[in-house]
Amino acid sequence: MRIDSATRDQLQAWEKELSAQYQRICQHELNLDITRGKPSADQLSLSDKLDGLLNGEYRADDGTDTRNYGGLDGLVCSRELGADILQVPASEVIAGGNSSLTLMYHAVLTGYLFGFAGNKPWREMQAPKFLCPVPGYDRHFAICEQLGIGLVNVPMTATGPDMDEVERLVQADQEIVGMWCVPKFSNPTGVTYDEETVERVARLGKIANPGFRVFWDNAYAIHDLGQQVSLPNIRTASLENDTVDCVLQFASTSKVTHAGSGVAFVSASPANLASLKQQMQAMTIGPDKVNQLRHSRLFPEFSMLKEHMKKHAEILQPKFALVLKHLDEAFGESDLGQWEKPKGGYFVSFDTRPGCAQAVVKLAADAGVKLTPAGATFPYGKDPEDRNIRIAPSFPPLEELDTAMSVFVLCVKLASVRKALAA
Ligand SMILES: Cc1ncc(COP(=O)(O)O)c(C=O)c1O
């Protein structure tokens, strides 16, 4: 199906045929959901050994009684686990509670209220702003929105954010105080930043205001679906450029063990960690060290964590393959949409023809298939071209995903034809 070369008669014929198919599907009263990137029950079960693993042995190897208060940095063994995931020294890692998003929230709050490493707090600026590669992760944007920090869109490319644009913006506006990055298997495009992009991100500290921080959210650091994709090390690049204070890194085991009760990590330069801890020490006496110990006992070696991730990949890979098969078969020869083929992470990002995404989401919802709201992958929920839809294949069983994708492709076709007819 090619819309641009179709005659009006052809479009009308397609509309009639697709509408009839759509009406038939609506009669099935489906109730399917491919919205959020949650692990499936099968994936969660891979880590059920956590339960009871300590068997009354609450002491860590260094003698810490994990049941008690204290240890703002987290257990040494847990910091080592975070260090392996992020490929940084354990001395530069804090192991926290269950959510990296919480750590990111506290890091933004630290910059906003107190400033990092002796720099001016962002709240003292007239209009502090973050750069947001788009499409991106809605919960990153929500943190800034809640604090009144402005959001500036930067387009994603196949190798990472458009760095010409990033550098231009950072140079032009000294009130740009941060940038969100999901450098590996980006949410939602699946893109991994290439070497040049990582190097240029590391150099931003040379042109930005001194309080500027890159929020390097490496949520999918070890979430390869097949062959391992390597991401250049941002700490090494920033050490070489003398910009180590400009980067904060994050990760967690949310999509490794149990999503709601994993361990989260932040890694940063000593000066930044001191700023973070100053803020955190008023808020908590320490993280859940019992849970941290459980995780370290489950993965005493990094190689065991990697083996564990292969089991996740075995469950996820067929789901991604199914989504891509539907898209290839329906749109491979068409001008109805574009998508990347991710090698890991949790999402497939689909771009419709301009102005169709909201209509697709509405048609799918009316047919009983819930999709992420159109626009959710952009700051303020506004996709300027109304094109992007994030597909999350992980949660539903394969049969349900198959049905949901059949409905999805039909809705894309119908919305595209109707849009062309209305033009
Ligand atoms: C890019 C990204 N960062 C962070 C998170 C949430 O991480 P956590 O569960 O550690 O808070 C997600 C979850 O989907 C994500 O996609």
Domain parsing of the chain, residue ranges = 8-43+306-422, 68-299
Give residue-wise pLDDT tens across range 254-279.
999 999 999 999 999 999 999 999 99
Give residue-wise pLDDT tens across range 12-71.
999 999 999 999 999 998 999 898 789 999 999 999 999 999 999 999 999 999 999 999
User: Does residue 254's CB lie within 6 angstroms of at least one atom of ligand 1?
Assistant: yes
Mean per-residue pLDDT of the chain: 97
Give residue-wise pLDDT tens across range 314-342.
999 999 999 999 999 999 999 999 998 99
pLDDT computed for residue 36 by the predictor: 79
| Atom of ligand 1 at shortest range from CA of 103 | 11
The mean per-residue pLDDT over the stretch 392-400 comes to: 95
> Is the pLDDT reported for residue 381 higher than 90?
yes
Q: How far is the CA of 394 from the centre of ligand 1 (A)?
A: 14
User: Does residue 154's CB lie within 6 angstroms of at least one atom of ligand 1?
Assistant: no
Q: How far is the CA of 259 from the centre of ligand 1 (A)?
A: 9
User: Does residue 219's CB lie within 6 angstroms of at least one atom of ligand 1?
Assistant: yes
Would you say 236 and 87 are in contact if contact means Cβ atoms under 8 Å apart?
A: no
Q: Does domain 68-299 have CATH number 3.40.640.10?
A: yes
The mean per-residue pLDDT over the stretch 82-103 comes to: 98
Would you say 175 and 126 are in contact if contact means Cβ atoms under 8 Å apart?
A: yes
Would you say 225 and 213 are in contact if contact means Cβ atoms under 8 Å apart?
A: no
- Mutating to test ligand 1, I would choose from 44, 139, 348, 391 the residue with most ligand atoms within 8 A of its C-beta, which is 139
The mean per-residue pLDDT over the stretch 361-383 comes to: 96
User: Does residue 388's CB lie within 6 angstroms of at least one atom of ligand 1?
Assistant: no
State how far the Cα of 76 lies from the Cα of 71, in Å rounded to an integer: 9
Give residue-wise pLDDT tens across range 150-161.
999 999 999 999
| Atom of ligand 1 at shortest range from CA of 186 | 1
Share of the chain above pLDDT 90, in %: 98
The mean per-residue pLDDT over the stretch 172-199 comes to: 97
Q: Which fold has domain 8-43+306-422?
A: Aspartate Aminotransferase, domain 1 (3.90.1150)
User: Does residue 257's CB lie within 6 angstroms of at least one atom of ligand 1?
Assistant: no
